[in-house]
A and B are shown apart, each in its own frame.
Chain A
Amino acid sequence: MRRIGCLLVPHFAAAAAVRAESGLVGRPLVVLDETRPGRLVIEASAEARALGVSLGMTEAAAQARPGGVICRERVPAHEVAAQQALLEVGLVHSPRVEEAGPGEVYLDAAGLGALFGDEPALARRLVQRARDARLPARVGLAGSRVAARLAARRTAELACIPPGADAAHLRPAPIALLDLSLEMARRFARWGIRTLGELADLPGRDLYERLGPEGARLQALARGEDPRPLDPWRPPPRFEEARELDWALDNLEPLFALFTECAERLCGRLEAQALAADRFEWSCRLAARPGETPRTIDGAFVPPVPTHEARAVMAVLRATLAAEPPSAAVTALVLRAQPVRVPASQEPLDGEGRPSPRTLAETVARVIALVGPGNLGVPVLLDTHRPGTLRLEPLSAGSGSGEGGKGENLRGVLALRRCRPPRPARVRLIGGRPVHLHAESLAGPIVASAGPWRTSGEWWLDSRWVSDEWDVELADGTLGRLAHDGSTWLLEGIYD
């Protein structure tokens, strides 16, 4: 016999805010959507509703209610945490739970009697565990999802619909309980169908002819029939390997060996589940003197492509730790992976000159170990006229996969070898034109020059800039670009 439990947290966004800030318990709270003009109320606690606050009200209108309300902006992270806590309350009691929406969880309640007693006892236990998680949940138990939800909505705390009584309990319930689409809701309104009982009484064949399978499904739900199995929610897998040490390590090589062990175990687990990781995090707990609190150093890196290759992970980790070794002996270490599923793809037949993702990840990791993270990537030009402004992005496996044409539009462009950073220069002027340059070892008379070419930007910010550029030719034939920002001359680069 099928039994479904529904855990329902009314006014969920407000409940999540109260859960995150214990001082709000029992106080009139409204949650605002700051992205909308007027900062509208999108959720209100029961205490605020008792003061006459309604959804859609502006912040000013809500605060004008007698007694006053407390306003908080919506924090999605609080809601995610609260939803996770609610799902975990369900999972503690049943191996199968389904996430039904914000503040709403179904669980398979069949066969739990031997563990938790009869259904009211199970419901009380669920309510208590939710309270322990600082969530004011209501619990409904019935033979179908719709009936369990109805029971949870109508009760103040817990309600159980006896087996076989779903249809009778559902009859007077409003049809909106079925989460109808807008079109379906309008159609039922036109027909004058307002309760589930009225929908259940419609001739099934005629309903199917007019509304198709969706109509038949809705009617079955209205009759308390719920054949669809629960869509089980699984907690996100935690890929973490840690090592506590009995002795403190003050040498990098043994530390690398232990990290390698962790990386191999972690990558083995990822590979076994056909997963890869697109982010790795590591941390080391450092030994402390007596009386001091142990410190922890940590870091994270993103491989160029999701990987489960321990060698590639260790190449980056070695480079990172070798560049900045721990300042004290290490007493514990942790390596975590953020798993992603990488769809299988076939190598293109004309794939000459393109590395496989695995080779790419490994090679890039080794090069990072040589030059350091942040010194390798695909250059991306930023939307500014400021010279030399760019950022580096990780090379993705899809790079170079045939974009671009055949090169018909190539131009022979004179390249500038940039000085990074631009070198301070001493420039002598005659008649406003540069005639002699001295910048580090580059010095000599200027035999030809053209300019100034002015560029400027961000004049509306504190970081405004202006630059007058000159192209110059030295007597030895060197072509360079100078820039003058109003006070200082800089050598921006050499044309080559």
Chain B
Amino acid sequence: MAIAKESLPPPGWGLEGSAASLLEAFPRGQLSEIVGPRSAGGSSLVTSLLAHATAAGALVALVDGSDAFDPAGAAAAGAALRSLLWVRAGRRLDAACRAAELLARSGGFAWVVLDLSADPTAPAERRPPGLGAATWIRLQRAARDTPTRLVVHASRHLAGSAAALVLAVERRAPRWMGAPRPLRLEGLGSRMEIVRSRTFSTPPSPPGGRGSEWEVTWRL
């Protein structure tokens, strides 16, 4: 069945062309980080990665440190929710880290995402309390020798040298339809850049990207 042209997003929207190379960028058996401030697109990237992995038939786990995950949005992004184990840690970050460690150590999940982003209304860019260097070393070791990609999503870089890959997400201007008075929020632009990679001597060059940078628009 043909899809009406009007319903298709404009070229360059979403992760359609870049998802595969992004998935390849996150190393198996290693700890990676997605960092970015509030409303930068980090959660949209996490949702897209979960959607891509579950749609390919893999089992993934999301450890939600602030109970902010929106399953309806993930389903809209194409995620197969039946393949997603959602752990609601209830803002107890130490329990969230321990849970992610157990899930990564089991080796049974293709992706384990530990979401340590601040609560939506919490003061932005505050370092999560009680998470020291030992936490990240433990997480790194839990994922080692497993096929699991362990990803930490946070407002800022937390894992130090334990992270094999750090992907920074920056906010671009939101897209509003209608001027001068907005009628509808269409989406949000994000710029993503691999700022640290221990696995690639030369970071992967994404299709449509430049060097190790991506420009993505998330649509509502």
Contacts and interface: CB of A to CB of B under 8 A. Distances in A.
Interface of A: 352-356, 359-360, 362-364, 366-367, 370-372, 375-381, 387-388, 390, 392, 395, 399-407, 409-420, 423, 439-442, 448-450, 471, 473, 477-480, 491, 493-496
B137 interface: no
Contact of A418 (B15, B120, B123, B176): B120
A461 B46 CA distance: 38
Given A415-B218, A441-B122, A378 B85 contact: yes
A490 to B, nearest CB: 11
A419 B99 contact: no
B56 A406 contact: yes
29 contacts: A353-B58, A355-B59, A355-B106, A367-B102, A370-B89, A370-B98, A370-B102, A375-B87, A376-B85, A376-B88, A377-B85, A378-B86, A379-B74, A380-B81, A388-B72, A399-B59, A400-B58, A400-B59, A403-B80, A403-B82, A407-B56, A409-B78, A411-B219, A416-B73, A440-B122, A450-B185, A471-B184, A493-B120, A494-B120
Given A363-B108, A390-B71, A399 B99 contact: no
A425 to B, nearest CB: 9
B55 A407 contact: yes
A496 B40 contact: yes
B107 interface: yes
B75 interface: yes
Contacts of B1: none
B29 interface: no
Nearest to A372: B90
A412 B87 contact: no
A469 to B, nearest CB: 11
What 5 A-B pairs come out closest when comparing CB atoms? Answer: A355-B108, A412-B14, A353-B110, A400-B59, A400-B83
A395 B106 CA distance: 15
Interface in B18-55: 19, 38-44, 46-48, 51-52, 54-55
A440 B121 CA distance: 6
B76 A448 contact: no
A419 B68 CA distance: 6
Given A371-B89, A412-B13, A353 B117 contact: no
A407 B182 contact: no
B217 interface: yes
A376 B176 CA distance: 37
A410 B52 contact: yes
A385 to B, nearest CB: 10
Given A400-B57, A450-B182, A477-B171, 20 more contacts: A355-B106, A363-B102, A370-B102, A375-B87, A376-B87, A378-B81, A381-B75, A392-B86, A407-B51, A407-B55, A410-B19, A410-B55, A412-B77, A414-B41, A415-B73, A417-B117, A418-B70, A441-B122, A479-B188, A495-B39
A404 B57 contact: yes
Interface centre among B13, B39, B72, B220 (most CB of A within 10 A): B39
B209 interface: no
A355 B148 CA distance: 11
B2 interface: no
Nearest to B75: A381
Interface string B88-117: 111010011011001101111111000001
A412 B16 contact: yes
A289 B82 CA distance: 50
A414 B87 contact: no
A376 B86 CA distance: 6
B182 A448 contact: yes
Contact of A370 (B15, B51, B95, B109): B95
B89 to A, nearest CB: 5
A366 B217 contact: no
Contact of B103 (A363, A388, A420, A480): A363
Given A375-B87, A404-B83, A407-B78, A478 B72 contact: no
B70 A493 contact: yes
A274 to B, nearest CB: 23
Contacts of A449: 182
B187 interface: yes
A381 B99 CA distance: 24
Nearest to B68: A417
Contact of B220 (A356, A370, A399, A414): A414
Nearest to A494: B120
A373 to B, nearest CB: 11
A474 B167 CA distance: 25
A411 B9 CA distance: 9
A363 B105 CA distance: 9
B190 to A, nearest CB: 9
Contacts of A388: 70, 72
B174 interface: yes
B84 interface: yes
Interface string B127-139: 0000000000000
Nearest to A416: B70
A430 B86 CA distance: 41
B4 interface: no
Given A400-B58, A441-B123, A412 B90 contact: no
Contacts of B216: 412
A366 B63 CA distance: 14
Nearest to B126: A441
